[in-house]
Amino acid sequence: MHTLPTIRKIFQGVATRHEMYRMFNRHHGDPAWTAGDVAHLFAGEWFEIAEVEHEIMFEILPPLFMRSDMFVLREFMTGSVTGVFFALVIDGRRRWFHGYCDLSNRGSPERMKAAIIERESRPVCAMTRDERLEHIWSSTHDNYRGYAGERWPQAMRGRRTVLVYAGQRGTILKLLDDLTETEIAAKLLVQLRHPPEALEA
């Protein structure tokens, strides 16, 4: 029996071609990558792209299969996980997305499509904490992010780290999951800094 992956948005806004290719490799360096066990890292991730990137990816290789609003890449990222590209009408406007689906989970592209439509029908700035952390990871240059190594306590090793400015302490490495709301806000564009609860107040 397969465990369904969490479907999650990993970048806010429309990714440029450069950003798209960076996100294809956003887990490079993860200890699981070296071990060859990366399916759980990718399956369920999605982000928005422009129409031109959608069309370029369609022309690279014949798709494994296609429907009116999606096509699936023939080349697999790992195991049964591959890229799926969507062309969806949301609130009357056509938009384009890429996601990673585990095809061993029957119906995973349809579940991702439904999740994208549901998420993108909400206010843009109403990002969850997890979405803001994923956006920070996706948009941070490789030189300023990494994974906790031998200098970290055993329980923290392998977890994602980012450089943050800590006032008089200067720039320090910190676990991504441990960023404070102030540190998160400092790493986001102004229009993305407000958590959902602030918008609801």
At 109, which helix (H) or strand (E)?
Answer: helix 108-120
The secondary structure of residue 185, as a DSSP letter, is: H
**Look-up of token digits 């999605």:** 46
The secondary structure of residue 150, as a DSSP letter, is: T
| 98 touches 20 (CB < 8 A) | yes
Which tops the pLDDT comparison, 193 or 146? 146
The pLDDT of residue 165 is: 85
Q: What backbone phi and psi angles, to 5 degrees, belong to 10? A: -120, 0
* Ranges of each domain in the chain: 8-120, 129-200
Q: What is the pLDDT of residues 77-131, one digit of tens each?
A: 878 899 999 999 999 999 999 999 999 888 999 999 999 999 999 776 678 899 9
- The band of 194, judged by pLDDT with boundaries at 50, 70 and 90, is low
* pTM of the entire predicted model: 0.85
The pLDDT of residue 114 is: 96
**Whether the predicted pLDDT of 201 surpasses 60:** no
Give the number of other Cβ atoms within 10 Å of residue 168's Cβ.
Answer: 4
Cα–Cα dist 159/177, whole Å: 9
94 bridge partner residues? 89
Closest listed residue to residue 161, CA positions, set 59, 61, 33, 30:
30
